[in-house]
Amino acid sequence: MTKSCETGRDLLIRDLAGELDAAGRRELAAHLAGCPGCSREHRELGETRDLLLVARPPRPGSGEPAGLWQRLEPRLDALDRERRRVRLRGRRSLPVWALPAAAALAAAGLGLWLVLGLGTPARQPSRATPERVAAAPAGESRLDRYLARAEPVLLAISNRPPGPPELAAFDRSAERRRARELADEAAAVKAEIAGSGRIATLELLSDLELIFLQVANLGEDQYRDGMELVRASLDRRAILFQVTLEGMRRDGDRETGGRADRPLRRPRELRASLGARPHSADPHSEERRPC
Amino acid sequence: MGTDGDRRGLVERARTGERWAFREIVESHQEKLLYLALGMTRSRQDAEDIVQEAFLKAYSSLDRFRGDASLGSWLYRITVNLCIDHRRRRRPQVPLVAAEEAAADRGDGFPEPADEHPAADPGRYAGSRSIGRRVDRAVLGLTPLERSVFVLRFYNELRLKEIARVLERSEGTVKNMLFRALRKLRRELAELAPEAGREVTG
């Protein structure tokens, strides 16, 4: 292609798009007169454009799609309700939990787990889990196991695009079931380590319980937007980072026998942990990701 | 549709929860978004679903609307992205051609505008159902970006500069995409145009 053909191409496209002024049209005509290749292309593409313009579907009429607002408004209402619910729960979770916890600490370990259990935000009855009443020392390793299970699920929630509307209800119900289990488990683990005085860990477990409860309670009609709000909530509270941090603390505790004067994790491990997508550690975390 | 100032005011009011303001936004843009989605998906049902999703998405992200793009460009962008996601999700499930053939057989996949809107433009599609299908198939064969540029220019009649803003690409890229789209469509539809059978050069 010659230099003048390059210029001619630009003019040609603008002409096909209907955006060439009179001077441009004169310039294009001069080029086409001396260039059979560009001239033929201009003619052929012009014919194609004209065919496509004739064959395009009619412009939608006024008010189309008919009944759009009537279909849309209930969904906007649902979105508003969900936003209010998330805001309300976000505000309630800490104060309601934190006040009895502080009181119990001041009372020198007077059955703290019981207070926490009563102070937990209202939620649906959990399944009976035998581990839930296990002795306190088991709580630490159970916390490890719980965090290992929760992390890939959180990553999956955080990373994936909104689910397709046609997604099978079966997959969603599996996800909701899984989320409910993780919410119940968060409450159970919290109760077990309540006497340890690990306030940051207990707060994290409260946040996880709330996040998973939100997922578990999402209705079909508000699923996509609800998940978006959950993701926003995850981001806002840096939940994934906190889970990773908790893992680091615990790794460090194990390596140092409780001393915190050694590096907890190498930077590469930290990056991998923060950036990695879940693998096969938890099959449930992958089950809904759209292809 | 009012001035830019009016529209910015509407967004502000919608953002603070005034539902009527959002309704104004919906009603002043719904036909244009429907035409865009129809051009992108070639399916009336999918296009209507996408328009609804687009407004829902706009409503939930009004806080993120920066105001440096026009409201129309922002809504077009949301719709284009939903159309592209929509195709991506559908593609792996059923091969494109098979799905389209099946849909065409059922009579509900490809829009048949002359049948749906006989009063809108009588005769446009008369005797040319198969041409309509050929065109639909050829347009669906474009890449998402090529198709977006083609539809925004020739259906929604946006200028190249506006298309560049909607798609957040340079005007040069948009021109290139339009040229490539027309060339591909020429190859697919050569025998329907008067210059039947000729290869497009290059």
Of B56, B125, B182, the CB nearest to A49: B182
Whether B189 and A51 lie within 8 Å, measured CB to CB:
yes
Of A55, A64, A291, the CB nearest to B34: A64
A·B CB contacts under 8 A: 136
In this prediction, residue B98 has a pLDDT band, given cuts at 50, 70 and 90, of very low
Does the structure show a pLDDT above 90 at B152? yes
- The reported pLDDT for the residue numbered B23 is 94
Report the predicted TM-score, pTM, of the whole model to 2 decimal places.
0.54
For residue range A32-54, list pLDDT tens digits in order: 998 999 999 999 999 999 999 98
Q: What mean pLDDT comes out for the span B111-121?
A: 38
In this prediction, residue A134 has a pLDDT band, given cuts at 50, 70 and 90, of very low
In this prediction, residue A209 has a pLDDT band, given cuts at 50, 70 and 90, of confident
Q: Are A44 and B2 in contact (CB under 8 A)?
A: no
Of B48, B56, B153, the CB nearest to A17: B153
The angle that helices A223-236 and B44-60 make with each other, rounded to 10 degrees, is 30
Whether A64 and B30 lie within 8 Å, measured CB to CB:
yes
- The reported pLDDT for the residue numbered A278 is 40
For residue range B154-196, list pLDDT tens digits in order: 999 999 999 999 999 999 999 999 999 999 999 988 877 654 3
- The reported pLDDT for the residue numbered A245 is 76
Q: What mean pLDDT comes out for the span A16-28?
A: 93
Q: What mean pLDDT comes out for the span A101-116?
A: 42
In this prediction, residue B8 has a pLDDT band, given cuts at 50, 70 and 90, of low
Does the structure show a pLDDT above 80 at B5? no
- The reported pLDDT for the residue numbered A81 is 85
In this prediction, residue B36 has a pLDDT band, given cuts at 50, 70 and 90, of very high
- The reported pLDDT for the residue numbered B39 is 94
Of B35, B85, B192, the CB nearest to A51: B192
Chain A CB contacts of B82 under 8 Å are: none
Structure tokens at A243: 């889970």
- The reported pLDDT for the residue numbered A16 is 93
Question: Which of A12, A38, A44 would best serve as a mutation to test chain B binding (most B beta carbons within 10 A)?
Answer: A44
Whether A65 and B202 lie within 8 Å, measured CB to CB:
no
Q: What share of chain B in percent tops pLDDT 90?
A: 50
Highest mean pLDDT among A74-88, A111-125, A244-258, B141-155: B141-155
- The reported pLDDT for the residue numbered B79 is 95
Residue showing tokens 């292809």: A291
- The reported pLDDT for the residue numbered A40 is 92
B172 or A206: whose pLDDT is higher?
A: B172
Q: What mean pLDDT comes out for the span B20-24?
A: 93
Whether B185 and A52 lie within 8 Å, measured CB to CB:
yes
Cβ atoms within 10 Å, residue A69: 17
The amino acid at B23: R
Of A60, A64, A76, the CB nearest to B59: A76
A73 or A4: whose pLDDT is higher?
A: A73
Whether A291 and B92 lie within 8 Å, measured CB to CB:
yes
Q: What mean pLDDT comes out for the span B53-73?
A: 86
What are the strands, taking DSSP E only, across B23-108? Answer: none
Whether B113 and A13 lie within 8 Å, measured CB to CB:
no
- The reported pLDDT for the residue numbered B86 is 80
Chain B CB contacts of A7 under 8 Å are: none
Among the listed ranges A9-13, A48-52, A134-138, B9-13, which one has the minimum average pLDDT value?
A: A134-138
Average pLDDT, chain A: 70
Whether B38 and A68 lie within 8 Å, measured CB to CB:
no
